[in-house]
Homo-oligomer: A and B are copies of this chain.
């Protein structure tokens, strides 16, 4: 009823693929700002300049929508990292490039990634999804360490390796949180600090030994 006074159609009809991206953009924005539960499908639809049933038609339920966000952002991040850390470099070089790519990504997608990430940790249905992604990262780091160790004819238990990798990934995520909360902070500098902690350790740092990025 009261069929809109079609003076201007206000907005054009757009192909599905485009609308889906708009919706995902809006969803990421709203989910980050409000959190999964507090975010309402109405607000997301509104923010995307579209009505709610369209969101359901294209991306499914709220949970599915959130998973779609996670996937898109996660894939983007993984690509950013994978593209930076070639597997045939020495370990320190690889670690450095990976870290730089990671913090660069987070710095550029502050509210996008870091907050989605924080969200997903808590909510049961997504924790598994997230764990898979983190698992891939841990695997990469553990693989790197293993590779470096084998090159020296040394070997370490798989669990040890995994736990060390887990700690490194955790520290990195933690600094990513810090970066997301400090808009004035510099991504490159944060990566350098992370590299110092991860590569040298507290003992060396207390001795005044520091690591600096290569001239590149």
Residues of A within 8 A of B (CB): 34-38, 91-92, 95, 118-124, 127, 145, 148-149, 152, 154, 160, 163-164, 166-175, 177-178, 190, 193-194, 196-206, 208
Cα separation A174 to B138 with both chains bound (whole Å) = 12
- Whether B197 pairs with A199 at a CB distance below 8 angstroms is no
Contact A168 B202 (CB under 8 A): yes
Determine whether the beta carbon of B167 is less than 8 Å from that of A202.
no
Contact present for B163 and A193 (CB under 8 Å): yes
Task: With A122-B122, A170-B171 as known contacts, state yes or no: A199 contacts B203, CB within 8 Å.
Answer: yes
Q: Are A206 and B148 in contact (CB under 8 A)?
A: yes
Chain B's nearest CB lies how many Å from the CB of A6? 40
> Of B119, B163, B164, B204, which one neighbours A122 at CB under 8 angstroms?
B119
A180 → B minimal CB distance (Å): 12
Is the pair A170, B163 in contact by a Cβ cutoff of 8 Å?
A: no
Contact B164 A174 (CB under 8 A): no
**Whole-angstrom distance from the CB of A8 to the nearest CB of chain B?**
38
A167 contacts B174, C-beta separation under 8 Å: yes
Assembled-state Cα–Cα distance A35/B200 (Å): 38
Q: List 24 A-B contacts (CB under 8 A).
A: A34-B124, A91-B202, A120-B122, A122-B123, A145-B206, A148-B206, A154-B208, A160-B193, A163-B193, A164-B197, A166-B175, A167-B174, A167-B193, A167-B198, A168-B202, A170-B172, A170-B173, A170-B174, A171-B174, A173-B174, A174-B174, A199-B201, A200-B201, A201-B201
> Do A202 and B206 have beta carbons less than 8 Å apart?
no
Shortest Cβ gap from A107 to chain B (Å): 14
Please, how many angstroms separate the alpha-carbon atoms of A191 and B84 in the complex? 32
Given known contacts A35-B122, A204-B201, is B178 in contact with A171 (CB within 8 Å)?
no
